[in-house]
Structure 1
C-alpha cells in the first residue's frame, strides 16, 4: 500500500495540473512576468529585486498615441503609483476617448489613466467569463473597477466597467499590454470600491478612513501573484500551487520569506514538503540572502505554524554560498530564486526537520532572547536526540516528521 506522504504528493501533483482560477481581484488574471529568474552561480553574489517597469512610458506612449488616445498618452510620463513602481508584469487599460477626457474639466488625466489601468492581462473573452460584479484592482491602491455584463444582441455580450461600456474591445494586445476602448470614463473611484457591490450606496467617512488602512495590502497581493508566476515558470509548480491554495492567508502578511523545494527535489524524496509548506514560510520578514548571512547562530525565525519556529543552526562564515549557513541544519541551495518587493524565495536541498528542545545543546548554547525553547532536558547518556546533518555526514542524516498531515490543513 502506498505511504500517506506519497498519496499526498500524488494528490498535489494532480491538483498542480489544474488551473486555479481565483478571483480577479485576488490571485486571478493571466499574468506573465517580464523577466524570468535565472539560476544562481555556485559562487553566489546576492542579486537585488527585479527592477520595476521603468520602460513603461516607452511602451505605453506610442501604443496609446497610435490608437488615438492622445490625452492618455500625454499623461503617461506623469503617471505615478506605488503599485506600478514595483509591478513589471502585463497590464490592461480601459481607455476613454480624448473627447471624454476633455469633457471633465476638473479631472486629472493622470488620475483617469491610473484608475483605468489594471495589472494583469484581461482580454474581451476573459472579461466575458468573469462573474457578475468581479473586482479588478487598478494601479491606484485600494481602488477597483467592477466588471458587469448583459446579454447583448447578435454581436454578443455587452461588458461594462463601473457602468461604462467597452465599445471597442481588444484594440491592442501584444501579450504585455491590452487596450480596450470604452464609451466615456469612470468617475473617481471610492476607497471602498474593492468591497462595494454594484449599486451600493456611497460609503461614510468612517468607512473610507477604515478602508484606507488596508490599501497597502494591494501591493502584497500583486507581489504574490508575481511570485506565483515566477515560481511556476522556474520549476517550483508545487510551491506555486500551495501559495494559490493559501493565498487568502498569505495576502494578509506585510511581506514574507519562503524556503522552497523545487519539483525535482520533491519527486526525488522530499515528499514531506508537500504537507509542511507553512513550516517553511517566515511571515512579516523579508530576508534576502544578504540578510540571512548577518544572522547569528541561534536566531529564531517564526513560521506560519503556531508554536513551531526555524533556527539558524550554523551562522554564515565566508563569502560564498558554501560558507556554512544552515537553517535547522539544512543548507540553502539557491538563494533569492524569486524576489520582489514583498516576497523572497530561497531554494533548499530538503525539507526542514523539526527541532526538539533537546536539540539545542548542538547549537553551543547560543539561543536568541525570544527563543521558544525551554532549557533542554538532559538524556540519560547526555546526548541530544536530534535530526542532524552536516558536511561530515552529508544530507542523509536529515529527516522530517513522518506523521501524516492533511494536505489542505497543512499547506
Structure 2
C-alpha cells in the first residue's frame, strides 16, 4: 500500500507556533516583485490584486504561479481558479518530494485539493501532471512560490494507485492482506524519523500487533506541541486516546463530512467536531496541516497544528488511564 511522509518533517517549529498570525502584506508584495523579476509578470500583478482578499487570511501559503504564456492562452483566471492555485501550507521542495503519487494537497478553494503525480523516476515534482520549477521562485519560510507552465485543471482525475476512500466513511470492514504488526511498525518508523516520537511511542506501546478490521485514524501533533502541553507521564494515555478514532479515514473521507460532524474517539465521552475555515479543515478548533501524512491499509495519520482539547467545558476525562488492546 502507498504511504505519504510528513510535510511537517522539514518545517521549522516556529512556523507552526505562529499559525494564528496572518501573512504580512510586505511578504506578499516582496513575492510579487520577485515574480516580476523572474518573468512571471501576469501572476505578479494578479498576486498584488488578490493578496489582501486571499493570502492575508492565512499564516502560511504556497503559490503555484502559471507562466505569462498560460495567462495569454487562458485569459484572466476567476477568483476560484486562483484559490485552486494557493495551498494554505508552506510546502518546501524536500517535503513535496517525499509525498507519494496520489497524495492530496489542500487548497484555498473549499472542498478542492491538488494531487501529487510525481513518479519515482521523475526528477521534478509534478502536481496534477504539471511540473513545478525545481526550486521556489520565492521562499521566506512562510510564503513559497513555484512556477508552472499552465493552469491546474480543477477537474483533473488521478488514475494512479493513490489513496482512495473505499467506503471508509462508513467504516466498513474489508479484507486485508498485511499483518497488523507490520502496518503499525511502518507507521511508527515514519513518525519517529520526522518529529513525532511521542505519537510513535504511543503506537508502539499500545497498538502494535493489534488486529482491527476497520483500522484507525490518528490526528498527530508534533513533539513540541505535546511536550509544551502535557507534563506528567500519567496524563499520556488519556491524552493519546482523544487523538485516535476507531476507523480509518483518509483525507478524501474527512473532506466529505459536513460542518458539525462528530468523530468518536477512544477516550470515553470525547468527540472531534469537524468544521472549516477558509478551506482549511478544523478539528475542535485545531487546523489539519498535513493530510495523509502517513497511510497504509490499517493506519492513517494526519498532522495537526496542536493537541486536541474538548470544546465542551463540562467534559470530564475518564479515569481509566490505559488502553485496552481488545478495544481495537
TM-score, normalising length: structure 1: 0.41
Q: Give the greater-gyration-radius structure (CA).
A: 1
Q: Which has the higher contact order (CA 8 A, sep 6+)?
A: 2
